Amino acid sequence: MKNFMEIYFRIKALIIKEILAVWRDKKSRLMLIAPPLIQLIILSHAATLDVNNISLGIHNQDSGWYSHELIQRIKGSPYFRHVYEFKTPKDVQRAIDIQDVIVSLQFQQDFSRRIAAGQPAPLQIVLDGRKSNASQIVMGYLNLILQNFNIDILNYQGVDLPESIDIEFRSFFNPNIDYIYFTVPSLVAILSMLLALTVTALSVSRERENGTFDQLLVSPLQPWQILIGKMTPAMIISLCESTLLMILALVFFDVPFKGSLFLLYSSMIVFLLSIVGIGLFISSISHTQQQSILGTFVFMTPTMLLSGYATPIENMPTWLQPFTNLLPIKYFFIIIKGIFLKNMPASEVFMHTWPMALIALFTLSLAGWMFKKRLE
């Protein structure tokens, strides 16, 4: 019992020391709080693949009703913000070139006349391929407007058409397909991960750079005790951080929270443990803080790209998809969105938690082994 208490006090002392190492300095303290909040606010609105506020250029040589009506319909669409008219084809081309507009329409002189005469009227559409994603979506919007207009023209001309089919849609979990519901929970996961990773990655390498790590190694602390002492502060800091971010998500962004707080926190602890394990591993192989920060980046960048946040995992080639199973955040994305929006049941949460637990076990043992190796 005495022995146990002794171990407890030793680890506690180390934990307090670790927390003070980041918390003591005013600038570092600010860095723990301010950037994640700024990032959450800016990125939640910026990081969407949604396309609106579209600028469109028009070169209209036709003075008839049909082109005029089509332009009015485009202007009335919620997606098209600016519609500019140009005098010559060259001006339109220039507007695309210098990215004043992303798409242009060119009406021939006989556009309305041909339609009225029942002949097909060609409409030239030019899209800017330098914005491949936006161009595709813009073309989709335009096609819909054109198809509806076509049907209205035929009806107006008294052509007897078969009933055409409309689409009614309903969106589960997010009735208005609001991007904030997706970006905010995802960012809570990303920002907590970033913080847990940097705090742990720096914790060992800072001591090594200052030469105090050797002192720690000659102290009566066992390697596993050092490991716990390094882990716990990072866990505490990042759990506080994610709590702060979640409060912001609920109060400021009005993201619904449908699931269980208990399930969220238990899976989050497993997630953060796996990240802390990776951070400690990076830290244990780095000699300087610079190396550990850069090492963190070499981990972070591919993780962000392959996690399914920016682009869906289904779009990736099939041989690459298994690799995403090694990324803890992939599972936690599913869980955090599931609990926020879908009230995900415990069984499903567990299904996505155990792979993270496995990763945590592996990375933490690896880091512990590295510490032990240092000692020998």
| 49 lies in the binding site for other proteins (CB under 8 A) | yes
Q: 302-307 — which CB contacts under 8 Å span 24+ positions?
A: 303/193, 303/327, 303/329, 304/190, 306/330, 307/333
| 159 lies in the binding site for other proteins (CB under 8 A) | yes
Place of tokens 């600028």: 55
DSSP output for 83-112: EEEESSHHHHHHHHHTTS-SEEEEE-TTHH
Give the residue, chosen from 226, 245, 337, 371, that forms a contact with other proteins under the rule CB under 8 A.
Answer: 337
Hey, which residues between 54 and 73 contact other proteins (CB under 8 A)?
54-55, 66, 70
Contact of 314 with 166, CB cutoff 8 Å: no
Query: Closest CB to other proteins among 199 and 221?
Result: 199
Query: Closest CB to other proteins among 3 and 347?
Result: 347
Query: Closest CB to other proteins among 310 and 375?
Result: 310
283 burial level (CB within 10 Å; 0-12, 13-18, 19+): buried
d(CA 3, CA 5): 5
Query: Closest CB to other proteins among 70 and 249?
Result: 70
Hey, which residues between 71 and 90 contact other proteins (CB under 8 A)?
81
| 20 lies in the binding site for other proteins (CB under 8 A) | no
Q: What is the DSSP letter of 253?
A: S
| 317 lies in the binding site for other proteins (CB under 8 A) | yes
Give the residue, chosen from 7, 316, 357, 361, that forms a contact with other proteins under the rule CB under 8 A.
Answer: 316
Choose the binding region for other proteins from 83-91, 269-277, 313-321, 358-366 (rule: CB under 8 A).
Answer: 313-321
| 215 lies in the binding site for other proteins (CB under 8 A) | no
Three-class secondary structure of residue 71 per DSSP: helix
Hey, which residues between 90 and 149 contact other proteins (CB under 8 A)?
94, 96-99, 102, 115, 118, 120-137, 139-140, 142-144, 146-147, 149
Q: Distance of CA 79 to CAs 83, 103, 106, 113, 178, Å? A: 11, 13, 20, 29, 15
